């Protein structure tokens, strides 16, 4: 019989997850949710024994108002704990993705294509996804008796993409890029992927969620700064709201990235690997100093932002996302029909700079975009300037409406 006292239950569950081969990052995510969520809830309720009812009561209290992905994460953690208590097992929610071997002539060329992607400094995750998707393609062709490039036809390509049941769009782009590689390297006389020149998979357009400068100021003023956690969270939020840093860049920020003498922050972006140089604004500098002197745990970790409880670790993208989401939810700012995660701060900064008349190239530099084309997306939400593009409808003289006896109205 498994001990259902909450701390013992969590410890046993984590031990079982390690035996089952769960990644440490996954285990840490669940541990953090349990300690900050259900454990705190049970302390408040002055109870030690975990039950299904206690878990459901906790979910009923915290889920309303949370973003969908956050809700699913909390449900998963509580249900995982409940299932382990009842069965002694931890059931995996996601089936491990299969990756087929890259056999034969086409498989060998896929390997060459992947090496080329690596030489183009594509992210490891991107290359891994291309390998997996193209392994399905090679396996599918093999099952159709196609083992050589000379046997590859446009009909075979279309048939494979049409047959895929999941991730159709991902297969589409991976195969189209591979076919272009075949033609560029001289393996085919023409590009066999020409039939994939157009993407006919509809995608719903999403407008960025933005907050104006007054709303951002209200959120910043709402952050409690008397506690160590408050001091840390205030500095984190300023990094997102004033500089527009991606959450991955905030997580990887180190003290070496901060040039106090020259008042600037220099780093290589996690997403693009491109360097970006930003001003060390006065408010951000002061917030970092207050955090470092009065709130940051003593640690050998070089990352700026650490967890508030021992063992002290660098904060992850998930934990930083939770910080900003929580701040937005408690700020009193209306978030109805708007997303309120860290990327909304990035969109808001761009939008507010546009309203101030800052040129697009300057905004691109601030956001660390490769080109101004990426920044042009933010023009869609610059309503003020869009209104200035509206042309007045010219007045039409009355004779136009009564010509030919008023036949216009027939």
Convert the pLDDT of each residue in 252-269 to its tens digit. Answer: 999 999 999 999 999 999
Contact status, residue 38 vs residue 50, Cβ threshold 8 Å: yes
> Which residues are within 8 A (CB) of 91 and not within 5 positions of it... i.e. 6 or more apart?
80, 83
| CATH number assigned to the domain with residue range 104-196, chosen from the 4 options 1.10.3720.10, 3.30.43.10, 1.10.150.130, 1.20.120.790 | 1.10.150.130
Q: CA separation (Å) from 166 to 163, 169, 224, 242?
A: 9, 8, 45, 39
Tokens 């042009």, residue located: 376
pLDDT at position 95 is: 46
Listed as ranges, residues in the chain with pLDDT below 70 are 1, 92-97, 165-167, 198-207, 371-374, 376-390, 400-402, 404-410
Ramachandran angles phi, psi of 74, nearest 5° = -65, -40
Q: Would you tell me how many other CB atoms lie within 10 Å of the CB of residue 376?
A: 13
pLDDT at position 1 is: 59
Rounded distance, CA 304 to CA 297, Å? 10
CATH topology of domain 213-385: hpI Integrase; Chain A (1.10.443)
Radius of gyration of the chain (CA): 27
Contact status, residue 104 vs residue 138, Cβ threshold 8 Å: yes
Rounded distance, CA 397 to CA 81, Å? 75
Convert the pLDDT of each residue in 16-28 to its tens digit. Answer: 888 887 778 888 8
Tokens 């259902």, residue located: 4
Q: Would you tell me how many other CB atoms lie within 10 Å of the CB of residue 225?
A: 16
Element (H, E) at 279: strand 275-279
Contact status, residue 42 vs residue 6, Cβ threshold 8 Å: yes
């Amino acid at each position: 019989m498994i001990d259902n006292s909450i701390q013992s239950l969590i410890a046993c569950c984590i031990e079982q997850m390690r035996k089952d081969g769960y990644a440490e990052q996954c285990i840490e995510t669940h541990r953090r949710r349990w300690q900050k969520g259900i454990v705190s809830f049970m302390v408040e309720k002055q109870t030690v024994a975990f039950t299904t009812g206690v878990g459901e009561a906790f979910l009923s209290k915290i889920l309303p108002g949370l973003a969908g992905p956050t809700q699913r994460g909390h449900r998963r953690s509580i249900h995982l704990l409940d299932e382990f208590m009842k069965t002694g097992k931890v059931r995996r929610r996601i089936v491990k993705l299969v990756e087929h071997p890259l056999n034969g002539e086409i498989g060998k060329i896929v390997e060459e294509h992947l090496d080329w992607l690596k030489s183009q400094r594509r992210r490891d995750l991107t290359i891994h996804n291309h390998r997996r998707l193209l392994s399905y393609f090679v396996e599918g062709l093999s099952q159709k008796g196609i083992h050589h490039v000379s046997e590859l036809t446009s009909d075979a390509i279309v048939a494979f993409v049409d047959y895929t049941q999941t991730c159709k769009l991902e297969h589409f782009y991976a195969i189209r890029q591979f076919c272009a590689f075949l033609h560029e390297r001289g393996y085919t006389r023409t590009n066999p992927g020409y039939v994939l020149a157009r993407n006919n998979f509809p995608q719903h357009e999403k407008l960025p969620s933005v907050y104006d400068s007054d709303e951002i100021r209200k959120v910043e003023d709402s952050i409690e700064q008397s506690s160590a956690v408050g001091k840390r969270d205030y500095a984190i939020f300023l990094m997102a709201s004033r500089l527009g840093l991606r959450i991955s860049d905030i997580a990887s920020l180190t003290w070496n990235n901060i040039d106090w003498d020259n008042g600037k922050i220099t780093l290589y972006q996690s997403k693009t690997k491109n360097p970006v140089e930003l001003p060390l604004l006065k408010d951000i500098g002061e917030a970092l100093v207050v955090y470092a002197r009065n709130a940051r745990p003593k640690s050998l970790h070089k990352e700026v932002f650490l967890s508030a409880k021992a063992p002290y670790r660098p904060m992850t993208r998930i934990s930083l996302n939770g910080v900003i989401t929580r701040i937005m939810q408690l700020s009193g700012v209306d978030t109805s029909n708007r997303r309120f995660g860290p990327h909304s701060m990035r969109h808001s900064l761009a939008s507010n700079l546009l309203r101030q008349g800052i040129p697009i190239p300057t905004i691109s530099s601030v956001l660390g975009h490769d080109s101004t084309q990426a920044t042009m997306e933010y023009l869609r939400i610059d309503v003020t300037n869009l209104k200035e593009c509206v042309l007045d409808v010219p007045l039409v003289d009355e004779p136009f409406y009564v010509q030919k006896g008023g036949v216009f109205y027939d």
